[in-house]
Amino acid sequence: MMACPHSPGPGQAELLAQMRRFVEGADCSMENANALEVALDDGYPEDPVIQEFVTMLACYRPGGGAYLYDQKELAREMKRVLEGGGTK
């Protein structure tokens, strides 16, 4: 499964902090979601759980829409990833 929530190393602590800010509602901006998408994609290219979540991040819009994830949906999935439970 994903390494970052369980063993934070250099750079991973900030990644976890960004994810927590999103889950807590402190920073649900497109900029934060885009930064997370790139960092997770670059950091975990072989992790299928993370790659599925990267796809969700790519489909995020604060208000949602057809075929898009809104803030609430993405925060729920992000919380699952942080807890090591994967997505959906």
With tokens 């920073």, the residue in question is 27
Give per-residue pLDDT as tens, 44-53: 999 999 999 9
> Residue 17's closest CA among 42, 44, 35?
35
pTM of the model: 0.84
Provide the residue ranges of all domains of the chain, joining segments of one domain with +: 30-88
Give per-residue pLDDT as tens, 7-52: 555 588 899 999 999 999 999 999 999 999 999 999 999 999 999 9
Rounded Cα distance between 4 and 84, Å, is 9
